[in-house]
Amino acid sequence: MSVIRILSENVANKIAAGEVVERPASVAKELVENSLDAGAQSVEVSVESGGRRLIRVSDDGCGMSRDDTLLAFERHATSKIKSAEDLDEIATLGFRGEALPSIAAVSRLTIETRHASEEVGTRLEISGGKFRSVKDAVRPCGTRIEVQSLFFNTPARRKFLRTESTELGHIASMVTHYALAHPDKAFRLASLTHEILKASPVTSHRERVYQVMGGQALEQLVEFGPMERPAPKFGPPGLEAEAEASPGAYKIFGFVSRPEVHKLNRNQIYFFVNRRLIRDRLVLHALTEAYRNILPAGVFPVALVFLDLPSREVDVNVHPSKAEVRFRNGSFVHDMVRDSVLQALMASRPVAAFPMPKQPQAPEAYPAGQHLEPYSPKQAGQPPQPWRPETEGPPKARGFHLSAPRPDPATQVLPLAEAALSTYAPPLASWSVPCSAAATSEPQVGEFPADLLPLGQIQSSFIVATNPEGLWIIDQHVAHERILFEQHLGRRQTSQMEGQRLLLPIVVDLGPQQRVAFQNIAEELAANGFEVEPFGQESVAVKAAPADIQPDDVERLVREILESLGRETQALSLDELRRKIAASVACHAAIKVNMPLDQEKMEWLLHELSRTDCPMTCPHGRPVVLRYDMKEIQKAFKRI
């Protein structure tokens, strides 16, 4: 039974052409994609010398008949598409019929395969593109392809290969991605000396993430979805009718990191479209939007986003190695990614627990004058130690310590990691429930609770509170900042805001860049309750400001808004600009540290915080709350 055909010239010419065999990883990728397209349940990859000497991919997919095996090595021979129209609706990973001939042209390739319709399989050897032998092979259904001596006949390309470990690294990341996208399938990657990845079939993506990325990585992630939206019924002219007929649905799910996880680059952001790993600036932007005011500038989240959509909604025929796609409804995809990730972050409301993980400092510092006081050198860095005479040496009797002996780092981290893993196992978020509604239901573990009882403050700066879940410490300044931020933004989004007139206008001198920024945002400033007018060539006069701002803070606030925007103003969307202004106003209006609060004020603050959408991080991305789980407390006291 023959399924492969050679594409007509007309169709072949419509295919995005380009080099498919750049390096060992691209060979391995094409072969693994073929195995998946063949319906394999198990894919095994073996490599030697980073893939230069050998790449072997074995699968238990449908295999090929003898006729097809011979045909598969012709250019544009494929079983996956037939006509130019099929290019509009590609449901397979491959479709060009170019990989096998291209790989066979630059290596010594052996294929052994058998299709269920034939009793005996086929073994074919090709070297540098030339057929060497065709034989029978006794083997189960499925395919095994061995690619040896890659680029043996193109020494110039061989020279450009990177070190063995770099090439192996690329192959490992490729296999990992496909393993993440297909949890129901078995994957194995091994070199001559060791097994690099082994993942047996599991029933959920969560389990697969655990298998390939490990428990610690999973603990940093919030699972989201699946969320579905019907495909939009509009489309390019002429295609609306078709879209009407069977709109299909867009489905999204995945994992994103908690706000306290900060990565210094985007290397851990993965988007899969119909289980194909792709790069896409639009989706990246959507993710950035979701984390705006949650992550500080310059740091990045971890994300595994799986988007499944009807094949006609995405064009994969745009990039030679199929690493980029074009969406038919880009803005729909953008908004769906942004909304679902944002909702996931809000619903999970993660908490930083003790001890704080090491992470890069958020670039924003406390506003001037907000350092903790009184400051004594003893408090710098070190937690207070029990007093002991210097000459005595290490104490022998442990019983004299008032504080529990500090566990060594290893034992300290492990139980917390385990606890977090179980604590944070997210019940599948219900997508139709908006965050605010979710907050009124049973408090879930990991949410900011509404039943906190404030006990007092530490250094007039941090509120200590309890509830049956454990002990909570809340940074009063950033907590208030989060409350005011959401209030200010909420008000601005529904109306123009009235400011409070100042007794005397405050004149603020501006540099050239700030003057440009001012011109660009003057209108939005006015809508936020500022009355600011040009005053001479180089200054502005502020006549009114949002009501919560103290007059002597106004100058610094205006300056800060203009400075923080800098040259960005023209590139900023209105939404981004509003968020920046709201964040600055909130920061200046919020109560400061070193401020005693009475019981009523503390209760009010905690209550208001529990009503915010995102109570765990301030608009600049700093944590608002630390939690010491009851279980951890009991463990620390060796009660469990």
Q: Can you give the binding site for ligand ADP, defined by CB under 6 A?
A: 4, 30, 34-35, 38, 59, 61-64, 72, 77-80, 94-100, 143
Phi, psi at residue 346, to the nearest 5°?
Answer: -70, -40
Tell me how far, at minimum, the Cβ of 140 lies from ligand ADP, in Å. 13
Separation of alpha carbons 7 and 81, rounded Å: 8
Using DSSP, how many helices (H) and how many strands (E) does the chain show? 19, 25
Q: Which is nearer to Mg ion, 99 or 314 (CB)?
A: 99
Stretch that binds Mg ion, among 27-35, 180-188, 199-207, 448-456 (CB under 5 A): 27-35
143 binds Mg ion (CB under 5 A): no
Per-residue DSSP letter, 567: G
Q: How far is the CB of 437 from ligand ADP (least distance, A)?
A: 47
> How far is Cα 194 from Cα 47, in angstroms, rounded to an integer?
10
> Closer CB to ligand ADP, residue 95 or residue 448?
95
Residue 143's binding partner out of ligand ADP, Mg ion, none, with CB under 5 to 8 Å set by partner kind: ligand ADP
* Amino acid type, 392: E
The values of phi and psi at residue 195, to 5°, are: -85, 120
Q: How far is the CB of 86 from ligand ADP (least distance, A)?
A: 11
Closest listed residue to residue 459, CA positions, set 386, 375, 519, 538: 375
Residue 34 or 612: which CB sits closer to ligand ADP?
A: 34
In the three-class reduction of DSSP (H, G, I as helix; E, B as strand; rest coil), residue 435 is classed as: helix
Determine the Cα–Cα distance for residues 92 and 182; give it in Å rounded to an integer: 14
CB of 116 to ligand ADP, least distance (A): 11
621 is an interface residue for Mg ion by CB under 5 A: no
Element (H, E) at 195: strand 195-199
Which of 145/438 has CB closer to ligand ADP?
145
59 binds, among ligand ADP, Mg ion, none (CB under 5 to 8 A by kind): ligand ADP
Nearer to ligand ADP, 58 or 293 (CB): 58
| 195: amino acid identity, one letter | E
Our CB check for ligand ADP shows the closer of 102 and 343 to be: 102
Burial 85-124 (b: 16+ CB within 10 A, else e): ebbbebebbbbbbbbbbbbbbbbbbbbbbbbeebeebbbb
Of Mg ion, ligand ADP, none, which one sits near residue 619, judging by CB under 5 to 8 A according to partner kind?
none
353: left (phi over 0), alpha (psi -120 to 50) or beta: beta
- CB-hemisphere CA count at 13 Å for 362? 18
- 454 touches Mg ion (CB under 5 A): no
- Which among Mg ion, ligand ADP, none contacts residue 98 (Cβ within 5 to 8 A by kind)? ligand ADP
Nearer to ligand ADP, 32 or 606 (CB): 32
Rounded Cα distance between 21 and 106, Å, is 9
426 binds Mg ion (CB under 5 A): no
Q: How far is the CB of 96 from ligand ADP (least distance, A)?
A: 4
Concatenating the DSSP letter of every residue in 211-271 gives: HHH-HHHHHTEEEEEEEEEEPPS--STT-HHHHHH---EEEEEEEEE-TT--BSSSTTEEE
CB of 49 to ligand ADP, least distance (A): 23
357, amino acid identity: P
Least distance to ligand ADP from the beta carbon of 95, Å?
5
How far apart are CB 424 and ligand ADP at their closest, in Å? 39
Shortest distance, position 280 Cβ to ligand ADP, whole Å: 22
Of the candidates 310, 246, 226, 228, which has an alpha carbon nearest to the alpha carbon of residue 273? 310
Query: If contact means CB under 5 to 8 A according to the sort of partner, which of Mg ion, ligand ADP, none does residue 28 touch?
Result: none
- Signed CA dihedral, 265, 268, 269, 274: sign only: positive
> CA 504, CA 291: separation in Å to the nearest integer?
39
Task: Kindly identify the residues of this chain, within the stretch 72-131, that bind Mg ion according to CB under 5 A.
Answer: 94, 99
In whole angstroms, give the CA distance from residue 100 to residue 410.
Answer: 49
Binding partner of residue 78 among Mg ion, ligand ADP, none, CB cut-off 5 to 8 Å per kind? ligand ADP
> From the CB of 270, what's the least distance to ligand ADP, in Å?
22
Q: Select the residue whose beta carbon is closest to ligand ADP and give its number.
A: 94
- Pick one of ligand ADP, Mg ion, none as the site partner of residue 24 (Cβ within 5 to 8 A by kind): none
Nearest residue (CB) to ligand ADP, 62 versus 585: 62
Residues paired with residue 444 on neighbouring β-strands, in sequence order: none
* Binding of Mg ion by 254 (CB under 5 A): no
- Choosing among ligand ADP, Mg ion, none, which partner's interface includes residue 77 (Cβ < 5 to 8 Å by kind)? ligand ADP
Q: Choosing among ligand ADP, Mg ion, none, which partner's interface includes residue 4 (Cβ < 5 to 8 Å by kind)?
A: ligand ADP
Residue 122 binding result from ligand ADP, Mg ion, none, given CB thresholds of 5 to 8 Å by partner type: none
127-140 burial, b at 16+ Cβ within 10 Å, e below that, comes to beeeeeeeeebebe
Indicate which of ligand ADP, Mg ion, none lies near residue 95 (CB less than 5 to 8 Å, by partner kind). ligand ADP
Provide the binding-site residues for Mg ion, judged by CB under 5 A: 34, 94, 99
